[in-house]
Amino acid sequence: MNSNQKSSKSLYDIFFDVCIIGGGASGLAAAISVMEKNPTLKVCIVEKKEELGKKLLATGNGRCNITNSSCTDYEVVKDFLNNSGIVLKEEEHGRMYPQSGQAASVLELLKWRVKKLNVTTFTNCQVLSVIKIEEEGFKVNIDCANEKVIIPCKKIILACGGKSGPQFGTTGDGYGIAKTFGHTLSRIYPVLVPLECEGVEKSLKGIRVKGKATLLKNEQPIVEETGEIQFTADGLSGICIFNLSRYIKLELDDYTTLDEAFKQYSIELDFLPEMEDEEVIEFLKDRRYLMSEMPTEIYLASIINMKLGEQIIGEALEDKISTIGNITYKGIEEIAMLLKSSRYVVTGAKGWKEAQCTGGGIILDEVNLETMESKISEGIYFAGELLDYDAPCGGFNLHNAWLTGIKAGRGVAEALTQKMVIGE
């Protein structure tokens, strides 16, 4: 156990007004928001990992795509972040990052804010269960480094995330706790994941390109994304692919295996989305003339990644042709086709460890979305990814965590402050 409050009291003797379970994005936002509204309240965060906010450090490839300016209630989140000293910078498509480009700076500022507001934090402490004691509030059962302790409190904010990225502490514990209070869990599944695909050359692993990716089901296009695409050892990754992965809905029945269900989907990549097919052919013809004496393998150099270019040329031209001037019209058509519509059959998707978000969760109908309080069990509030909400890459998932954390914090503080006024 590790507390920022230097106290000799055992946890049994400490009574908290609010116990926040989970010290990630939504838990930190909730703690700060309770204290902003009523600094006299006693608030604690219980965090399973040895540090608060471990997942935050990994967000946006360490840069933290913190929110998106197109989000509903963007100003609420922006004010919250600014008040914590976080300076924002806008990039394309409304994506907001800390000016520093460092996720670590975001976490550092939030941790300081929490400390300054006198929130007690317990790290290395896993909440095992929560029991409601009528009239009194709750008892939170915790395993603190193999020591079983209980925290009594008036209100609970469940902010322990979903199941994505279990290496950051999120192993779905909140779902079980919510269920004990009568809540319903919709089917959960990993989203924003890399896809495993047939036909991706291993040698392309690690290559990142800009392009358009289209998801097809049974040869019919479903959705397309333009942006970064990354080749992996066994498939495709990158923001475009993560976003497309949200649309793969496997229909399994007695006659369809998992493998068959995945293979109904394929990804088509267009490496030159700004050019029409005909334009590419004309361009390649001109280039054949310009570079006629040069070796074939550099035909696409400076147009797309060199390694990818060589791979496309190798695949398009059946016979080895040494100089560009000898490439036939048919060869040019083949190269153009691979540049505009390389097709890869989906064979699988990566699991929880590589997922950036959880699809499904605690159903929203059972929660008051203004205060985030349970409609089923008074005194229990929800925030973050454990709710049935997920969004594409672009800062939307962190936005949801901040916003629901702010609402839950304010909702709890409001309820407790009213009780104080009434004198309960």
Residue labelled with tokens 């939504």:
26
Query: Considering the rule CB under 6 A, would residue 25 count as an interface residue with ligand FAD?
Result: yes
All residues at 6 or more sequence positions from 263 whose CB lies less than 8 Å from its CB, including other chains: 345, 346, 347
Among 27, 98, 235, 379, binds ligand FAD (CB under 6 A): 27
C-beta closer to ligand FAD: residue 45 or 229: 45
Q: At 58, is the secondary structure helix, strand, or coil?
A: helix
Q: Contact letters (x/-) for ligand FAD, 93-132, by CB under 6 A? A: ---------------------------------xx-----
Residue 48 tokens read as 């399973």
Cα(271)–Cα(256) distance, integer angstroms:
33
Query: Considering the rule CB under 6 A, would residue 65 count as an interface residue with ligand FAD?
Result: yes
Q: Which amino acid is present at 159?
A: A
Query: Considering the rule CB under 6 A, would residue 398 count as an interface residue with ligand FAD?
Result: yes
Residue 42 tokens read as 């006693």
CB of 126 vs ligand FAD, minimal distance in Å = 4
Query: Considering the rule CB under 6 A, would residue 407 count as an interface residue with ligand FAD?
Result: no
Q: Contact letters (x/-) for ligand FAD, 148-167, by CB under 6 A? A: -----------xxx--xx--
What is the DSSP code string of 169-208? Answer: T-SSHHHHHHHHTT--BPPPEEES--EEETT--GGGTT-E
Q: Contact letters (x/-) for ligand FAD, 325-364, by CB under 6 A? A: -------------------------------xx-------
Query: Considering the rule CB under 6 A, would residue 395 count as an interface residue with ligand FAD?
Result: yes
Query: Considering the rule CB under 6 A, would residue 416 count as an interface residue with ligand FAD?
Result: no
Cα(225)–Cα(241) distance, integer angstroms:
8
CB of 398 vs ligand FAD, minimal distance in Å = 3
Around Cβ 347, how many Cβ atoms within 10 Å?
18
Cα(29)–Cα(261) distance, integer angstroms:
40
Q: Which amino acid is present at 321?
A: I
Residues 177-206 that bind ligand FAD (CB under 6 A): none
Question: Residue with the closest Cβ to ligand FAD?
Answer: 24
> For 346, phi and psi rounded to 5 degrees?
-80, 130
Q: What residues make contact with ligand FAD under the rule CB under 6 A?
A: 21-27, 46-49, 54-55, 58-60, 64-65, 126-127, 159-161, 164-165, 168-170, 173, 356-357, 384-385, 395-398, 401
